[in-house]
Amino acid sequence: MERGISISENKLADLISSAGETQAELFKKAHDTRIKHVSERVYYRGLIEFSNICRNDCCYCGIRKSKDIPRYRMSPSEILEAAEIAVNAGVSSLVLQSGENNSKENEEFILKVVKDILDSFPGISLTLSLGELTDDTLEKLYSLGAERYLLRIETSDPELYGKLHPAEMPYDKRVGRLEKIRSIGYQTGTGVMIGLPFQTPESLAEDLTFMRDFDVDMVGMGPYIPEEGPSGLESRYSAEERLNMTLNMTALLRILMPDINIVAATALQAIEPFGREMALRAGANVIMPLITPGKYREYYSLYDGKPCAGEEAQDCLKCITGRIRSAGLSPAPEEKGDSLHFQKRTKRF
Ligand code: 5AD
């Protein structure tokens, strides 16, 4: 297993807030590490946000249960059509994401959709991002052939986690789900939001340590985007600070865990038009083109100013390829792009 260098939490906290020359050096080191361990290739994950129905009420989230927004769930044939667009464009890896819905009916729905996709497009790899599912559902989905699961820890600070989530969502349960996901055999992904209310550089340093100690295979972490208006929880940090902290966290994680997959967070683009390119230059090696049909995008607004709202799958695929090239890296949509870390961890390599 590729172990990165070890950096003390104090030093990590300093580097998370760094700017100027120190930051430029950090990005250079992260980029060199990335080229050495995971090459110049950037993998694609075509993202289908198939439903915004959610039973949780996380106070930062634009699709939380108490928000009065139109709710949708795409039909199985709409989901297959969306998948087909991505596959025809040469994308070999898809992500199915939705709000958390543990009803029996929805479990059957998800099982059917996963089976349909894997039957229709043999050879593609599927990542699920469906929240805290039961052992039984997670196991059934894995047996069908879903290989990867993403569940952000959101913050590894139990106290902060408690402030942001309802009592029905205890921190320990979140960690327990992540452990279960890994023990079933999924390539396991997690991540955090950066610049949350009450969050400090020290707490973000602990997030990095959490991810390293948990030995995750993939990470997606992006800036917190506060909601406009009276119900919005303000960040202590300006947009520029959140951009910088996210890029610094990305670079540090690449140095700490050289062979994992790290996403250039879509949310970066909500605060800086070239935010994703900047993350690709700071160690990120995965990007998620949005495949959700245009008509549903406005209802899956996890945060204000989410990019690509008025576009369709083809627009996003084209645009992403340009973004990767402009960052001086190689688009690799056709590669499944398994986490090298996972392959080594499970000795499949
Ligand atoms: N700002 C940034 N990211 C957010 N998410 C939810 N709400 C916000 C927000 N306001 C992220 C969470 C979740 C992912 C799907 O979207 O981290 O896990």
Q: Write down the pLDDT at residue 228.
A: 84
Percentage with pLDDT > 70 across the chain: 97
Interval 227-256 mean pLDDT: 92
Asked if the model's pLDDT at residue 310 lies above 90, the reply is no
Strand, coil or helix: 53: coil
DSSP for 98-116, please give it: E-----HHHHHHHHHHHHH
Contacts 24+ apart (CB under 8 A), 208-212: 208/12, 208/249, 208/252, 208/253, 208/256, 209/9, 209/12, 209/156, 210/153, 210/156, 211/156, 211/253, 211/256, 211/257, 212/4, 212/256, 212/257
Q: Residue 135 is encoded by which pair of tokens? A: 């052992």
pLDDT of residue 7: 84
Count, residues in the chain: 349
Q: Residue 131: CB within 6 Å of ligand 1?
A: no
Q: Are 222 and 193 in contact (CB under 8 A)?
A: yes
> Is any ligand 1 atom within 6 A of the Cβ of residue 60?
yes
CA gap 222, 199 in Å, rounded: 14
Query: In this predicted structure, which of 11-25, 85-99, 198-212, 223-237 has the lowest mean pLDDT?
Result: 223-237
| Residue 217 banded pLDDT, cuts 50, 70, 90 | very high
Residue 349 pLDDT: 56
Instruction: Report in angstroms the alpha-carbon separations of 217 from 121, 189, 334.
Output: 24, 6, 20
Q: According to the model, what pLDDT value does residue 232 have?
A: 74
Q: Quote the pLDDT of residue 348.
A: 65
Question: What pLDDT score does 19 carry?
Answer: 96
**pLDDT for the residue 6:** 76
Atom of ligand 1 nearest to the CA of 223: 2
| Tens-place pLDDT, residues 87-140 | 999 999 999 999 999 999 999 999 999 999 999 999 999 999 999 999 999 999
What mean pLDDT is reported for the chain?
Answer: 95
Residue 3 clears pLDDT 90, i.e. is over it:
no
The whole-model pTM stands at 0.96
Amino acid 4: pLDDT: 67
pLDDT value for 118:
98
At residue 337, the 3 state secondary structure works out as: coil
Q: How far apart are CA 277 and CA 284, in angstroms?
A: 9
What is the average pLDDT across 322-330?
Answer: 95
Q: What is the pLDDT at residue 136?
A: 97
Which of 281, 245, 250 lies closest to 265 in space, CA to CA?
Answer: 250
Which atom, in ligand 1's list, is nearest to the CA of 220? 17
DSSP string of 211-277? HHHHT-SEE--EE--PPSSTTPPPPSS-HHHHHHHHHHHHHHHHHHSTTSEEB--TTHHHH-TTHHH
Asked if residue 154 has its Cβ within 6 Å of ligand 1, the reply is: yes
- What pLDDT is attached to residue 286? 98
- Quick one: average pLDDT of 52-60? 97
Predicted confidence (pLDDT) per residue in 11-34, tens digit:
999 999 999 999 999 999 999 999
49 φ, ψ to 5°? -95, 90
pLDDT of 233 above 90? no
pLDDT in tens, 336-348: 999 999 999 998 6
**How confident is the model at residue 2, as a pLDDT?**
58
Is residue 224 in contact with ligand 1, taking CB distance under 6 Å?
yes
pLDDT mean over 183-196 = 98
Give the residue, by CA position, lying nearest to ligand 1 atom 3.
224
